[in-house]
Structure 1
């Protein structure tokens, strides 16, 4: 019988922590969505910030983590914006951070997903501008 090495257990714990990351984003979207945010939404949204900080600190691996942390912080700020323009600018900045993260980690699919998301933000804004000018 072989026992798992401590590094295997740490890797599994890191994987579980990273798997929680998108769910915190989903929670942020769900609690930031209403325009007239009740106090419980604000409290739940604010509670995601220290959880994201703990996830970032516990899975830190240098520059890729710094880029991911910056992208997540900008995305967190963007989800709370009431201004559509500021939301788009913050998400574009967050996307740039994630693009650097994807390049550093060699994540081709992540890179494509982030570039498509950023293109969607720009193209949707451009389409609205053309419609309002016509």
Structure 2
């Protein structure tokens, strides 16, 4: 049984030809690959943050998180919703199905639609968008 390095030394011309062929094939493949300077990245998750300083966590959940979550859940594009209510702040993570590609329009529609009921919610809440 011969050592691999001995085989390489014995057939040095073949090894050299294979290495050169692989290098040329790699260089040709590199230059033929399509490449974009700024490829399109589809963001299928969004973070909706509402703030109402001084409101306890249970009221934030009852008055802000649940109504927003229920309204967003009605959208057919929405796959998952996860919400967290803290004292003075509500954070909702929304994820869309992979089959949708007009994401900017969907996100704009979700963010622009007034989803809280007219009565019973705090008047000074702030909604932030992080996408």
Name the TM-score, length of structure 2 as normaliser: 0.23
Bigger RCO of structures 1 and 2 (CA < 8 A, at least 6 apart): 2
Greater helix share, 1 or 2? 1
Could you say which structure has the larger radius of gyration? 2
Name the TM-score, length of structure 1 as normaliser: 0.23
Greater strand share, 1 or 2? 2
